[in-house]
Structure 1
Amino acid sequence: MASAANMKNIREIATCSICFNLMTHPMSIRCGHSFCQSCIMDICKKLSQWQEGLKIFNCPLCQHRFTTKHLSYNRDMENIVEVIKRMDETDHEMLCEEHGEQLHLFCEDEGQLICWRCERAQHKGHATALVEDAYQGYKEQLQSAVTKLSELQEKCMNYKMFMTKKITDLKDVIEIQRQHIKSEFKNLQTFLHEEEKCYLWRLEKEEEQMLRRIKASEANLEQKSNELSNHILELEAKCQGSVQNLLQDVKHTLSKSLTVKLETPENIALEIHTTCNVSELYFDVKKTLRRYQVSVTLDPSTAHSGLFLAEDRRQVTPGYSQENLEASSKRFTAFPCVLGSKGFTSGRHFFEVDVGEGTGWDLGVCRENVQRGTDMKQKPEFGFWTIRLCKKNKYVALTSPLTSLHLSEQPLVVGVFIDYEAGLVSFYNMSAGCHIFTFPKASFSDTLLPFFQVYQHSSLFLPLPDV
């Protein structure tokens, strides 16, 4: 007959660590641990509800990863449970190992099953009770303990699932922030790269101008040096000639030599005007751009008949076609477009456009002499440098072919920057202070005008420059 200690060990092996009862239809996972089928499936179901789509779980005992496909019926464990149950049913036949008597008594002091001979010997004076009387009271206490521990186990599992969800949420938040940081630095790098090209181009032009002046002065000195050499040769020839040759027109020769002058060449100061504060560019893109900000208003004589301009000429809205408008050869007739009043013929300029949450618009600059009827083609080769908001918040640059613009966030205010001499037109998201797009370098020779096209359910507003 098995000893009480061995029976206790066997019972512990056959007990489910989730419900603390003998296993019912035991299921094993890859790590070797077994649980009641209903218990392990219930845990998997709860975890899937807490974290939608979760298909890989951790063993409640050793955290080994498994899926429900890895669950297998443990027939051996089922047989062990059946044996324990049969032994429980014949528990009344258990005999004292020392005396061979039936264990009809329970010692409250030692917490052991004893026979009548044990009670008179080793347990004399101890509080004892019949097994039947002690059984019900302790069973109720154990069931109460199981209930309490089960509640704690469920609470623990809920906490664990909450923490698992927290980890997932943290990773999602970190990834979003990581992508935002990468995007911000990429935009800044693009802006600085464009600024670097502009400054280097201006420095190159300044070098060309200064070299032209210095070389012109050098050429003048070369010419003067040749003239002086000729005079010297002429005088040396007279000195080496005969008396008659030396004295012939000697006064005219001397007078001519005395009139020769050497002008001091222009002192061209090597002062470079093209300077760049890189740290200022790095720390405040908006501030740098707004140094070149100009006030832009709309030109009513260019506005399509379906556009309404505010009285201050800083806002344009689409509407019904207006009649009896003043005739103008500048007016757009096929598309809802309007131009700015003043153009750019040199220098660097910047203006902002409040696009709000409109659903469709084009903006940028164009040449003054672009086509304004049905033959208008909005491409750089036809004098347009513009970007567009299409349906479903899709942004494109109107290059040939179109260039898709993948923006991390919707711009509410768009900045347009023109460097006339460098041939650059750039766009910026002023809400985020980041670069959107720069057109390939062009060669400007005509007047450039701010260009706007407004579609249905949209309007554009031109804010006053910051003072």
Structure 2
Amino acid sequence: MASGIPSKKMREEAICSICLNLMDEPMSISCGHSYCHLCIMGFIESISLTQPEKSTCPQCRVPFQVDSLRPNKQLGGLIEVIKELERKKICEEHGEQLQVFCEDEGQLICWRCERAPQHKGHTTALIEDVCQGYKEKLQKAVTKLRQLEEECMNSMAFTTRQITEWKKKVETQREEIQFGFKTLQRFLHEEEKSFLWKLEKEEEQILKRLRANEAWLKQKSCALKNHILELEEKCQGSAQELLQDVKDTLSKSLAVMLETPEAVSLEPSVVCNVPELYLDVRKRLRSYQVDVTLDPDTAHHELVLSEDRRQVTRGPPWEDLDPSSRRFKAFPCVLGCEIFISGKHYFEVDVGEGTAWDLGVCLESVQRGVGMEQKPEFGFWAIRLSRKKGYVALTSSPTYLQLRDNPVLVGIFLDYEAGIVSFYNMTTGSHIFTFPKSSFSGTLRPYFQVYQYSPLFLPPPDE
């Protein structure tokens, strides 16, 4: 390497061990080490706070006096030479100026590098000849990047506007929901007061009539008692007293009649069916209705599906069915074709006058052979009509249901995210049962178990 060329070793020697940069105004201490003027003064100041009487070299820890600091002009001059040579882009290997550009390597080289074996056959040119071309390319790149930056800023501004707009819409929707429910609550509260007032008035009127009847009956009872006493006294008297006006007395006694009080109906005429009149359960549920049909590949070998796959009945075993692993084997069950992995879904089942059935949803991965148990912990959420036990929710421990009316049309509602499965009597629009909240993971499907003489029918959503 040519003399005066700043080798890596020279540069390392000119580095301040405090700030790790080329020294600025290098100062030497008594041990011979040098540092930037500002760096060593700052070091001394920090040391004086904890050890005011002495300072030690940051490198070798040899004590030194502050007045021993001396400018290292020779090192300062060498540092200026290093800076000047670095500014001139000198080839570190040959000490020549970098005036040639190698297209293949994409780097600056000197004339000696150009003749070296590692650049043999490469396309090279003087810096002055290629600089303008690359400058134009860089300017085009800058133009493109600025366009992209502008597009990015526009997209960011658009997204910011979207965020603001979305927040406003959500807030508006929140206010509408709150207002709607407050209005409904006020309405229901006023209606409640109105119906209770009407019921109270009817109670007062009927009680008034009943108490009037009670008073009349008490009066009649008292008159009858007096008449009985009069006859008993007559019987206990002498024969002359008994026979005195006896025919007139008997005639009056036989003419006594007990008039029936005015009949009063004990059925209140003020009736309010809140679910049907105000909450409109049917309309709300049917807004989530899906068209469910039966999956023949899952049907037990004793089940017969209609051609449109909407009706299933229990019959004699089929002998030529394929032994699919998806088919139920332990119980006469079948799944719906539809799958539920998110959202809210609702479907209806016409159970007719059937005396036994299972309805609900289950995980697609449930056990279908021996060992199958219809419980939530095994992936089943269903209710059952049993000939012996009546209506039962198939919870971990069976929950027996007391229904006011026997449902002919049963609605099943699933809210996947909320973990809710609910059942409704759509004949009356009343709630039957809701399973305790679950945490669903996996695919859910409609589930049916069919019994003898109890076919199930899946009506289309528009019926």
Give the TM-score normalised by structure 2: 0.48
